[in-house]
Structure 1
Amino acid sequence: MKNRKFLAGILAGCLALSLAACGNTPDGDGGKNDGGKGTAAGDGEKITVVLDWTPNTNHTGMYVALEKGYYKEAGLEVEIMQPPEDGASALVAAGKAEFGINAQDTIAPAFAMEQPLPVTAVAALIQHNTSGIISRKGEGIDHPGGLAGKTYATWDNPVEQAMIENVVNGDGGDYGKVNLIPNNITDEAAALEMNQTDAIWVFYGWGGISAKLRGVETDFFNFVDYNKTFDYYTPVLIANNDFLAERPEAAKAFLAATARGYEDAVKDPEEAAKILCTADPSLDKELVSESQKWLADQYMADTEQWGYIDPARWNGFYQWLWENQLISVEIPENFGFSNDYLAK
């Protein structure tokens, strides 16, 4: 494991560069000069949401709310845009957007600082961590211990590798025998077909469904099945702290309208898939349709309130990061998230 001081220096430098990049974004541009496609509707209080990636089924509820006029009914003019190269969080922290999308694991270093990034997670887009390891079927990687002696494509991220080590060793395998190669993969199914790697970390609702549609027979195991601590929140909707303090009613109105969009996506995933594909015609319609059906059971799994963040799960994961020396500063209990802006 890399020591905490080393990580702190890297993270502080990355954050400074990200905020500097935000400061160079012209006011009102919202990062569009980075090539992001914006989608907006309504004539009301302006809200900008920055995605974490290109539009996909994690985001569908917002596009449904936009298409059906839920934001407009709430008195909001909402723009959904793709992120700049340095991601959504720095843009939101700099006040260039009110909301953005990140994940509890990837935003952790920005919270583990003497001056944490001034954003707060205000809603979980999906209730459980649906990620895990996908591999070619029948090669013995249907459980973590089976990774020993196999090749895994890694992002070389300390948290990622620590999680892999935890589940592999916990399942009786030897993490030291896992062959790590750089992950420059953009198409998981193709990479498995072409034997570029034996195993890849994917979110099943997209990567797993894509492989299935391509006819690639795979095995998959979910991290949560081997360590409940890894049932952290990914992805989450974050908001700028000043915005939350100064315009709480706008934040609540946005989240209430967004909840309606996700509730509709749960009830009618086929309609929701069509709305997402209309918003971005470049998407694979079959993949979106099947992914949408799969995620319909995940948006509000085990809860009656879309967006709710369980404090025990949130705190438990950050405590694990601290105990395993994966963050430079201990994140206080209940820090970095709030359920206060969700509809009661």
Structure 2
Amino acid sequence: MRKRIIAAVICTAMVFSAAACGTKKSTEGTGGEKSKELKEVSFVLDWTPNTNHTGVYIAQEKGYFEEEGLKVEIAQPPEDGAEALVASGKAQFGVSFQDSMAPAVAGENALPITAVAALIQHNTSGIVSRAGEGMDTPKGMEGKKYATWDMPVEKAMLKNVIEGDGGDFSKVELIPSTVTDEVSALQSKSVDAIWIFYAWAGVATEVAGLETDYFAFADLNPVFDYYTPVLIANNEFLKQDPDTAKAFLRAVKKGYEDAVEDPKGAAEILCKASPELDTELVQASQEYLADKYKGEVEQWGYIDPARWNAFYQWLNENQLVESELPENAGFTNEYLPE
């Protein structure tokens, strides 16, 4: 784990050489006078820009960060992901997932990271397949080719829902593969079933006109309605500079609430920031997520302790983590704006 952190620091040192927690930079006004000093903050994505991240780009575009006295740099993640970079302190904030965080927040080698906000209130992931081939329920995956990341938690969850549907997980053909184009993979029949986040890959199949079947993990077992994705922060940064952490989250909150109110405008801002994205896909994805960023909660970003703990308890009971995860491990609502 320590080697991963060191590697992440080295490969991203140039990206963040100008940004460090506590650094301030003054800007020049139109008349040459110095304007408000801005504190520099680094934010690292979990993947390429997509609609999970829209609220951050809105906060950047509309000046919400600057209103809070912040200058925010948004960067792509290193190969090891956002967790290692945030843990190293080279980025103050990043994007992660409750399931992938689990090995990192317990035990002697725990990474100093904490989830400080839920970017989406419920787990929108599940299994997509070509329509009409019997995989609209988990049992139907028997004898079919599933693209696996070959991760213990992934396979344990799949086994749980298949056996819960009366199926035999051992009859699923596991094909080690990291699918980046779900539409092409299904159309070519290189695989039959793929674990996706519906807000992006599921919507992409709709935009492409590919008829699919789909089932969501959260619909089959409430334990699997965990938080994915989440916004994480460096623990030392949270301790030393809580006011900046709260200022960052206030700005981000405004961004996501704007995305809820105006999906079309939100899509335009994301496409402006990342012009390589498919405009039709982004627009459809924003419409899909508009009522899911906050869901039923009043407070943007709120993490329900009962739901968070239920998933980690399931990991403990199934011995899917090396060190037992204690109650409330790895998250806090302390820095959320009211």
TM range (shorter): over 0.9
**Distance (whole Å) between structure 2 residues aligned to residue 17 and residue 143 of structure 1:** 41
- Contact between 1:43 and 1:77, CA under 8 Å: does it hold in 2? no
> Following TM superposition, by how much is the alpha carbon of 1:184 offset from its aligned partner in structure 2, in angstroms?
3.1
**Distance (whole Å) between structure 1 residues aligned to residue 94 and residue 129 of structure 2:** 31
Is 1:24 aligned to 2:3, yes or no?
A: no
Is 1:146 aligned to 2:151, yes or no?
A: no
**SS of 1:210's equivalent?**
helix
Is 1:186 aligned to 2:172, yes or no?
A: no
**Distance (whole Å) between structure 2 residues aligned to residue 31 and residue 180 of structure 1:** 42
Under a length normalisation based on structure 1, what TM-score does the superposition of the two structures give?
0.91
Mapping 1:304-323, distance limit 5 Å: 304-323=298-317
> Following TM superposition, by how much is the alpha carbon of 1:23 offset from its aligned partner in structure 2, in angstroms?
4.1
Number of residues of Structure 1 aligned to a counterpart in Structure 2: 322
**Distance (whole Å) between structure 2 residues aligned to residue 81 and residue 184 of structure 1:** 22
Under a length normalisation based on structure 2, what TM-score does the superposition of the two structures give?
0.93
Identify the residue that residue 239 of structure 1 maps to in structure 2. 233
1:325 maps to which of 319, 327, 332: 319
> Following TM superposition, by how much is the alpha carbon of 1:264 offset from its aligned partner in structure 2, in angstroms?
0.2
CA deviation vs aligned residue, 1:152-205 (integer Å, no higher than 9, x gap): 110000000000000000011111111111113211011111111110000000
**Distance (whole Å) between structure 1 residues aligned to residue 124 and residue 288 of structure 2:** 11
> Following TM superposition, by how much is the alpha carbon of 1:335 offset from its aligned partner in structure 2, in angstroms?
1.5
- Contact between 2:128 and 2:196, CA under 8 Å: does it hold in 1? yes
**SS of 2:196's equivalent?**
strand
- Contact between 2:96 and 2:230, CA under 8 Å: does it hold in 1? yes
Letter paired with 1:199: A
Identify the residue that residue 120 of structure 2 maps to in structure 1. 126
Letter paired with 1:336: G
> Following TM superposition, by how much is the alpha carbon of 1:29 offset from its aligned partner in structure 2, in angstroms?
3.3
- Contact between 1:31 and 1:84, CA under 8 Å: does it hold in 2? no
CA deviation vs aligned residue, 1:307-342 (integer Å, no higher than 9, x gap): 000001111101101110100111110111000000
Q: Structure 1 residues 117, 140: CA separation in 2 closer, same or farther (over 3 Å shift)?
A: same
2:152 maps to which of 145, 152, 158: 158
**SS of 2:194's equivalent?**
strand
CA deviation vs aligned residue, 1:79-135 (integer Å, no higher than 9, x gap): 111111111111111110100111000111111322311011000000000000000
Give the root-mean-square deviation of aligned CA atoms.
Answer: 1.5
- Contact between 2:130 and 2:212, CA under 8 Å: does it hold in 1? yes
Identify the residue that residue 252 of structure 2 maps to in structure 1. 258
Identify the residue that residue 110 of structure 2 maps to in structure 1. 116
**Distance (whole Å) between structure 1 residues aligned to residue 2 and residue 92 of structure 2:** 20
**Distance (whole Å) between structure 2 residues aligned to residue 286 and residue 43 of structure 1:** 39
Identify the residue that residue 38 of structure 1 maps to in structure 2. none
> Following TM superposition, by how much is the alpha carbon of 1:28 offset from its aligned partner in structure 2, in angstroms?
6.5
- Contact between 1:43 and 1:72, CA under 8 Å: does it hold in 2? no
Letter paired with 2:45: L
Letter paired with 1:64: I
Q: Which runs of 5+ in 1 are unaligned?
A: 1-14, 33-40
Is 1:272 aligned to 2:255, yes or no?
A: no
CA deviation vs aligned residue, 1:221-268 (integer Å, no higher than 9, x gap): 000111000011000000000100010000001001100000000000
Q: Give 4+ residue runs of structure 1 displaced > 6 Å after superposition.
A: none
Is 1:207 aligned to 2:205, yes or no?
A: no
Identify the residue that residue 285 of structure 2 maps to in structure 1. 291
Identify the residue that residue 335 of structure 1 maps to in structure 2. 329
